[in-house]
Structure 1
């Protein structure tokens, strides 16, 4: 699969992940809040660069955009290994990204409670990333069938 198609599929997976996250957080008060961890990261980055951190909707928008770009780029790698074992690569990539989302905030000085203060939140966080990765693999599979 070429890089452009992989990146398009990666964006589809990242969008699916974010739609799932945004939907679940509205219906379940115990759902992971990756958005809050992302906003903390944006604020911390702004402070490190001695610039005023965005607030409100601007902070949310910058966080969402950064999340989309990083997840799409990561998920794009799923298609770079060809069609063989693509679903297994997707599951592995999703599990890896989910575990990183759970484990990385604390050593980065961010509040890990938003994604890791309960078994439920940790499992949901990993599951969200697996979902996004599987959507990526599905889109890649459909793209492969259309070009065949």
Structure 2
């Protein structure tokens, strides 16, 4: 397997873990981040601007949002790459995504509450994305030729 495929596999792993954590904890933890809500709002906003009809069924829209999250986060986390340096890249990418997820939704017109409701929500948001970056880094490192890098 070449390095690009290894990086994509590690990015997918990070994205799947991130989405599983979000989807699991939002059901049980008060004030947990609701990145799914931001995803649904994003799809509705983009489709409306493109004069397209977003799904009216909330379950279908939620499925689209989760699929979009996994796809976009997979590509993003694949930037962690492979080798020893994947660790710092994965950590930096995860932390940056988490901070962005807290700071950007308001200015983008998506609302602040889903990722910014309380300090606990903000910390969980950054932590979840950092975890995703570290999972991508761990797999990228594990799949790499340890002699390179």
Please indicate, yes or no, whether the TM-score normalized by the shorter chain is above 0.5.
yes
Match of 1:119 in 2: 119
Which of 62, 65, 70 pairs up with 1:63? 65
**CA–CA distance in 2 between the matches of 1:27 and 1:61?**
20
**CA–CA distance in 1 between the matches of 2:84 and 2:139?**
15
Q: CA RMSD in A?
A: 1.8
Runs (4+) off by over 2 Å: none
Structure-1-length-normalised TM-score: 0.92
Match of 1:17 in 2: 18
After superposition, the C-alpha distances for 1:117-139 in whole angstroms (9 at most, x for unaligned) are 21111110000001011111111
Compute the displacement of 1:40 (Å). 0.5
Compute the displacement of 1:23 (Å). 0.9
Q: Secondary structure at the match of 1:52?
A: coil
The answer to whether the Cα contact below 8 Å between 1:87 and 1:134 also exists between their aligned partners in 2 is: yes
Compute the displacement of 1:111 (Å). 1.1
Count of aligned residue pairs for this structure pair = 146
**CA–CA distance in 2 between the matches of 1:5 and 1:67?**
20
Q: Give matches, 1:15-54, under 5 Å.
A: 15-54=16-55
**CA–CA distance in 1 between the matches of 2:92 and 2:104?**
18
Q: Secondary structure at the match of 1:26?
A: coil
Q: Secondary structure at the match of 1:27?
A: coil
Select the structure that is richer in helix: 1
Match of 1:105 in 2: 105
